[in-house]
Structure 1
Amino acid sequence: MPAITIAPTFLIDDTPSSPSGSDSGNHHVISAPIHLPKPTSIPRSLSSTRDHFSVVDLPKLDTFVNSDHLPDVLAIYDKGDITNVRSGGRNTPVYYRRAYPKSERSLTKDPRRAALFLDKANCIESGRRSSVYHAPLFATLGPKGESRKSVVVAAKVANDTCRSHHLLREEAKGYASFPDQFFNASDPHPWAMGPDTPLVNHRPAMRPRCFPGWGVVMNPKSRAPLVTVPPITPKFYGFYVPLNPETMHSLARRHRECEDFQNSDCDVPNWPKSILLMEDCGEHIDPVTMPSEHREQCLQLVERMHCLGFSHGHARASNMLVQPGPLSLPRELRSMDTPSFRLISLGRWRGAYHPQVLESPQGARRAFCKGRQNDVLIAMQELGMVNASGSDEG
């Protein structure tokens, strides 16, 4: 088979494709015909220089990428069939299309393309609902004309139950709905977003009387005023759904009748898997060994979500990550003595101004308020900020 060239002309093809379609969830991820290249193999010239599936010596992508600069189409080289989308082998790609964040530009002529390499050997986490892999990404992540580069991202795929697929899709919707303050260092005051935003009136739920700092909202222990506050979540690099190369329809599937039931776990081992790409933000925290000031920082991430009009929905310690910080310093100067924390696993998020299908605006606000209260209770219990008797820490 002819080799493709992973260079400025990578994945460029003029073969017209068939009309668009949508996935089974009525989320229109294909709004117009796009051009897909013919299945081809990894070029021999690159194969001889390095193992494309290896993450050794590749930099981690940790910068914010504007949605206009994210790939529209991914050619995924899947070593081990992680995606459940059969191809001609590890050197033959399967094609994915970006579903979130949605693109505002026309993709009929020249969609942005990239290559992603998945290998089971690069798995960094395997949980009940999903698995996460380090994955080399070869893409242009800036204005067109810039050179392509290889970086490492975290690729999250659902496990083999219908609810796992649902939660991953909902997490992607959340990432696409969150403001930039979730992903970048920003002013600590929510009203810094501007006077016209409707989210500035939300405050975190008051901490219960039995917890330390009850009645206190966003009260940092440091006497020095905060200039900026760190990001809340990993940076989001897109949610991609598998495509049928013949029909251009999404292969993503769902059980609508199961989505309203939290414990619905239909086994779906053969469903093609969508992929969520995000920043790798370190390891899970250990609240048992964390000093109180670090646990307070984790709780403040949850409270900052509330200030911006969103609840987490599952604010457990297992959904909090830590990495060396501060993030304002170059990577080689960061230390675990000054760590940085992030929240993950956001498939149960609710937004005060983001009603679900058939939900009223009032219903969305009630769900947000309930989620906000549960977040604070669960987070403080998980972080060990109260002892078994319900009294404050000594």
Structure 2
Amino acid sequence: MPARGSDEDFGFQGRTRVISLIIDRDPDGPFLEKDKGPVANRTPNGLVWGHEVNELFFIPRDPGIPGYVTVWSRSMLKTLGEQYDELEKKHWQKVPLVSPRIIRPWPVLKLPIDHPAQIDPPFGAVDEGCEFEHSDCMLYRIRADGCFNGPPKFLSKKVPRRCPSNRSEPCTTRLIRNNSPDDSGPTLQGQPYEFFWCEHFRSKLEGKSHDDIADLVAKTVYDMSEPNVIADHIGVRLFKRGAAPDSSNASRATSSPCTSQEMHVDSEAAEKPEPNKADEKPAADLFSTKGLPKLEEAIPEAFLPDILLVHDPDRTTQHASNPNEPIKYRRVIYPLPQLGVEEANGVKTAEHEGLQSPTGYALPPRDPEAEERVAHLHLRQKSRLGRGNHSFVYHAPLTLPPPLSAYSPTGQVTVAAKLAFPCCSAHALLHNEARAYSALPEDAQHEYCGYNIIPPCYFPVPVVPIAPKFYGFYLPVDKDGKFMDEFALHEKEHRRCPGGDSCRVPWISPILLMEECGKPVKPHKFTMDQRTECFSLILRLHDLGITQNSFFTPSFRIIDFGRARVLTYLLADVKEADPDKRKEAYKGVARQLHSEMHEEEKLARGQLLLEFCQF
């Protein structure tokens, strides 16, 4: 990075996310190699990260040249070890050094807490914010059944973080639920423990005096996200508001008093009452999106549908079957090719029950003994959200595959369903979009706390998702389970077709399911910070070796990947057997894509009014 100029040179223009701290180096400190700083605490994208803007700073690469600086983070400085203790007291006193974490959206997905496939954090866990979520001993608050409209007044259960089963895995303080809370077991002040300390925490207490144990337990209880706690060296018990126990022999939390929206443990009101037959309502309209929550959470691979039954009475998918019967779809994936000498001929084709796919998709791996996961999608023409470059987008209710459900009256959520126009090029673009989503790492679809530095931009930007959540790509199958992929069968003969809708086809459309988001923005109404945040999405996408090729409607998500180009797939398409020639061909492909990236960044700057932002 060149020498730091003035604030005016750097185009602050009303910015609030600005690095203002410059660290003085130890004159005898080492030279800091470019792009070779300590890994320290970083987001999965590998970029420099700070929990707050003031944890990012300029640091001279050469101690003897103060103006020759780069951007580092607090955790990187701690790893380097140069004057860290002194600088921590000066700039970050009493502020804990934390790692990046995923910020969870308002929970919509639901699974029984004791289900063997439950995840950590569990489905339904409300994000408590960084004040508590960075604590290893916090208790997750789980949404209660029956609370569909806005934040509930109570939450049904409290669930501890999982203690790693492998003793070698790091664990500072975690709780284990007492699954047999009866009078026969140990008690705290005459009542059974709800949680026991894990073995990792108990090992911390070994050999300590009574007072030291009490102090450590008290400090740990204080760090919990729960005010009504008493604990001792064995475990923890929760008590309801207004029923404070004798605290003479146990540690209690000293947090602020409970609020009206606080969770009540195992509240009877949290249990779903048995319906009264006299009050039963007519069957719900499964095509209606009214009152259904929008799905913003990721669906783990283990819960994604294998089969999608599409209810399409309006024939939006171009099917010719009975409109009152669902059309069966199966999920497919686009595996990233493994480049190397053995892959010289590019992406290996996939065979599905006699159908060979030149597009390279495959069936997702699954346990052959496991029951297939079946979801239902309900499509209506009137629920169309919009029209893209190659597809119609529908606001569609999705019934999740059991045992997964949702906090809604019908157990449904809404997603965006993309269907191709009835022309050959649109089918090709929708397949290409599925390939691009498959190339995106999972972290590119999550929001993380804190801020990244994304060169060449040296203004901190929030770590927001690059793209919407991706819920799978689905192809129609016939009654025998064979794919009805007309695009795969006729792809070669349509390669020379002109773009647009000139070559109309009667093919049943694939379906791409994704999170509904990414409304276009009006950059002239945005601050420089907001414009830079939108621009950072393109920079991060390019870091992944992907160009979008259609950046004409800026937004806080990149939503159209129909014309995307992915470096990994492009390299796999190189059909050169000779190793030396193949290496040169790889370089040519990379140079071409980097040139396209440069042009795309130039276009994005213009769209976002960032031509004179000085980075």
Spell out the pairing of 1:336-351 with structure 2 (5 A cutoff).
Answer: 341-351=556-566
Name the structure 2 match of 1:382. Answer: 607
Name the structure 2 match of 1:92. Answer: 325
Aligned partner of residue 84 in structure 1, secondary structure = coil
Is the aligned partner of 1:53 residue 2:287? yes
Aligned partner of residue 125 in structure 1, secondary structure = strand
Name the structure 2 match of 1:33. Answer: none
> What amino acid sits opposite 1:167 in the alignment?
L
Give distance in 1, aligned partners of 2:420 and 2:505.
11
Q: Is the 8 A contact 1:70 1:238 kept in 2?
A: yes
Is the aligned partner of 1:218 residue 2:453? no
Is the aligned partner of 1:117 residue 2:381? no
Is the aligned partner of 1:305 residue 2:541? yes
Give distance in 2, aligned partners of 1:356 and 1:159.
29
C-alpha displacement at 1:107, in angstroms?
4.8
Q: Is the 8 A contact 1:79 1:120 kept in 2?
A: no
TM-score for both structures, normalised by structure 1: 0.66
For residues 146 and 257 of structure 1, do their structure 2 counterparts lie closer, same or farther at Cα, with a shift above 3 Å needed?
Answer: closer
Give distance in 2, aligned partners of 1:352 and 1:185.
24
For residues 113 and 217 of structure 1, do their structure 2 counterparts lie closer, same or farther at Cα, with a shift above 3 Å needed?
Answer: same
> What amino acid sits opposite 1:349 in the alignment?
A
Aligned partner of residue 294 in structure 1, secondary structure = helix
Unmatched 5+ stretches in structure 2: 1-110, 112-279, 335-362, 575-584
Give distance in 2, aligned partners of 1:379 and 1:112.
41
Give distance in 1, aligned partners of 2:573 and 2:412.
43
For residues 367 and 275 of structure 1, do their structure 2 counterparts lie closer, same or farther at Cα, with a shift above 3 Å needed?
Answer: farther
1:98-122 CA deviation, whole Å, 9 max, x = no partner?
1126411145762111100000111
C-alpha displacement at 1:145, in angstroms?
3.9
Query: Across the two proteins, how many residue pairs are aligned to each other?
Result: 291
Is the aligned partner of 1:256 residue 2:496? no
Q: Is the 8 A contact 2:390 2:562 kept in 1?
A: no
Spell out the pairing of 1:175-254 with structure 2 (5 A cutoff).
Answer: 175-186=437-448, 217-220=456-459, 229-246=463-480, 248-253=482-487, 254=490
> What amino acid sits opposite 1:168 in the alignment?
L
C-alpha displacement at 1:291, in angstroms?
3.1
For residues 146 and 278 of structure 1, do their structure 2 counterparts lie closer, same or farther at Cα, with a shift above 3 Å needed?
Answer: closer
Give distance in 1, aligned partners of 2:485 and 2:494.
19
Name the structure 2 match of 1:83. Answer: 317
Is the aligned partner of 1:276 residue 2:508? no
> What amino acid sits opposite 1:351 in the alignment?
V
1:21-51 CA deviation, whole Å, 9 max, x = no partner?
xxxxxxxxxxxxxxxxxxxxxxxxx994221
> What amino acid sits opposite 2:465 in the alignment?
P
TM-score for both structures, normalised by structure 2: 0.44
- Larger Rg belongs to: 2
Aligned partner of residue 343 in structure 1, secondary structure = coil
For residues 260 and 231 of structure 1, do their structure 2 counterparts lie closer, same or farther at Cα, with a shift above 3 Å needed?
Answer: farther
Q: Is the 8 A contact 2:377 2:398 kept in 1?
A: yes
1:115-155 CA deviation, whole Å, 9 max, x = no partner?
00000111111234211000000013xxx644473100000
Moved over 6 A (4+): none
The alignment-based identity, stated in percent, is 30
Aligned partner of residue 379 in structure 2, secondary structure = strand
> What amino acid sits opposite 1:286 in the alignment?
K
Is the aligned partner of 1:369 residue 2:584? no
For residues 130 and 262 of structure 1, do their structure 2 counterparts lie closer, same or farther at Cα, with a shift above 3 Å needed?
Answer: same
More relative contact order, 1 or 2 (CA 8 Å, 6+ apart):
1
C-alpha displacement at 1:272, in angstroms?
0.8
> What amino acid sits opposite 2:439 in the alignment?
S
1:319-338 CA deviation, whole Å, 9 max, x = no partner?
x43xxxxxxxxxxxxxxxxx
Name the structure 1 match of 2:570. Answer: 355
Unmatched 5+ stretches in structure 1: 1-7, 9-45, 191-203, 205-215, 322-340
> What amino acid sits opposite 1:303 in the alignment?
L
C-alpha displacement at 1:375, in angstroms?
1.4
Aligned partner of residue 354 in structure 1, secondary structure = helix
Instruction: Give the superposed CA RMSD.
Output: 2.9
1:188-226 CA deviation, whole Å, 9 max, x = no partner?
669xxxxxxxxxxxxx8xxxxxxxxxxx61322x5xxx6
Give distance in 2, aligned partners of 1:244 and 1:80.
19
C-alpha displacement at 1:247, in angstroms?
5.5
